[in-house]
Structure 1
Amino acid sequence: MAGASKNSRTTVTTQKFICPDCGGEIVMKTICDNGRVRNIAECSKCKRTERRPKDFK
């Protein structure tokens, strides 16, 4: 009896974050600053940056 593999049973969901000020989409960017890799969230419309998408509220 052959079943589906574990990886094929998982669902992939992506969450879109919306900027509360302008309504633009928030995208995550990876930058290298002083030898450190940092992730920042940036609104594509108003160019506001925060540490993570939750900080826009």
Structure 2
Amino acid sequence: MAGASKNSRTTVATQKFICPDCGGEIELKTLFENGKLKNQAVCSKCKRTERRPKDFK
């Protein structure tokens, strides 16, 4: 019984995050600092930065 491969079953889902203060879109950025990769969420309008989009609430 041949099934579909694991990679073919995954769905691509993009999620938009909205800043509760200004209504701008939150973008996820990856920064390379001190030899480590750090993820940051940045609002495109008010330039507020947090560690992840959930922290904007």
TM-score bracket for the superposition, by shorter chain length:
0.7 to 0.9
Structure 1 residue ranges without an equivalent (≥5): none
- 1:50 counterpart = 2:57: no
Question: Scaled by the length of structure 1, what TM-score is found?
Answer: 0.81
Query: 1:37 matched to which residue of 2?
Result: 37
Residues 4-26 of structure 1: CA deviation (Å, up to 9, x unaligned): 66544543211100000000000
Question: Scaled by the length of structure 2, what TM-score is found?
Answer: 0.81
Q: CA RMSD in A?
A: 1.7
Cα 1:7–1:43 shift into 2, 3 Å: same
* Aligned residue identity for 1:40: Q
Once the two structures are superposed, the pairs formed by residues 23-34 of structure 1 within 5 Å of their partners are 23-34=23-34
Q: Percent identity?
A: 80
Q: 2 CA distance for matches of 1:24 and 1:5? A: 38
Structure 2 residue ranges without an equivalent (≥5): none
Give the length in aligned residue pairs.
57
